[in-house]
């Protein structure tokens, strides 16, 4: 369907790009595939996003925003009396088991920065925002270590398909949280 005035087209293109990557991976992302998924003329994709990297940046930025809203909501629910290491272990377990296709998509977009320098600032934003949220509970260095451990555990679980061991994760988080250095 051709729409002359379509103020939501840019957003539909971003949503379509996220669906294309979710179904076909980064390698399946093209202006043509996104246009078909969004049901818009091909020229619309290049009008709004002159390069695929521009489209990837917009998609990753949107995914980051959703993820950070979720993490911010989680952080607000963790009380000061709660075992923070256990809360972190439960968070990672929930992230990798609740909606595996979504977390795989998020990491695929995140890891696109390995080969696409234009995406790196958005991937770095993800890392920094996660550390910012964790720094509400601890010092900055510890927060960065926790964020790195969360990424590492998540990637290992996604890549190996091994069952997530929440108790082992809790012990690992506890080690980082207990180290005064």
Residues 68/71/75/76 CA torsion (nearest 10 deg): 70
Q: How high is the pLDDT of residue 180?
A: 52
Phi-psi bin for 161: left (phi > 0), alpha (psi -120 to 50), beta?
left
Considering the domain architecture, whether residues 91 and 20 belong to the same structural domain is answered as: no
Question: Which CATH number does the domain housing residue 58 bear?
Answer: 1.10.357.10
Of 50, 73, 90, the position where a domain reaches its end is 50
Considering the domain architecture, whether residues 101 and 19 belong to the same structural domain is answered as: no
CA distances from 56 to 9, 42, 127, 169 (A): 16, 17, 17, 32
Considering the domain architecture, whether residues 4 and 86 belong to the same structural domain is answered as: no
pLDDT, tens digit, for every residue of 151-181? 999 999 999 988 899 999 999 999 999 855 5
Considering the domain architecture, whether residues 62 and 28 belong to the same structural domain is answered as: no
- Other beta carbons within 10 angstroms of residue 20's beta carbon come to 21
Query: How far is C-alpha 60 from the geometric centre of its chain's CA atoms?
Result: 7
Question: Which CATH number does the domain housing residue 2 bear?
Answer: 1.10.10.60
**Domain that residue 15 falls in:** 1-50
pLDDT, tens digit, for every residue of 87-132? 999 999 998 988 888 888 888 888 888 899 998 998 898 889 999 9
Q: Is the dihedral of CA 129, 135, 136, 137 positive or negative?
A: positive
Give the count of domains, the chain: 2
């Amino acid at each position: 369907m051709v729409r002359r005035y379509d103020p939501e087209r840019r957003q539909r293109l971003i949503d379509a790009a996220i669906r294309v990557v979710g179904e076909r991976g980064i390698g399946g992302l093209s202006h043509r595939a996104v246009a078909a998924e969004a049901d818009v003329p091909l020229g619309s994709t290049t009008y709004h996003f002159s390069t695929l990297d521009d489209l990837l940046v917009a998609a990753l930025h949107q995914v980051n925003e959703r993820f950070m809203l979720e993490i911010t909501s989680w952080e607000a629910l963790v009380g000061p009396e709660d075992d923070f290491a256990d809360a972190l272990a439960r968070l990672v377990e929930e992230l990798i088991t609740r909606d595996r296709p979504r977390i795989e998509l998020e990491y695929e977009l995140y890891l696109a920065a390995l080969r696409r320098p234009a995406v790196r600032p958005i991937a770095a934003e993800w890392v920094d925002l996660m550390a910012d949220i964790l720094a509400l509970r601890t010092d900055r260095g510890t927060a960065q270590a926790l964020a790195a451990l969360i990424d590492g555990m998540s990637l290992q679980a996604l890549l190996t398909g091994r069952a997530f061991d929440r108790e082992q994760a809790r012990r690992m988080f506890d080690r980082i949280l207990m180290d005064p250095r």
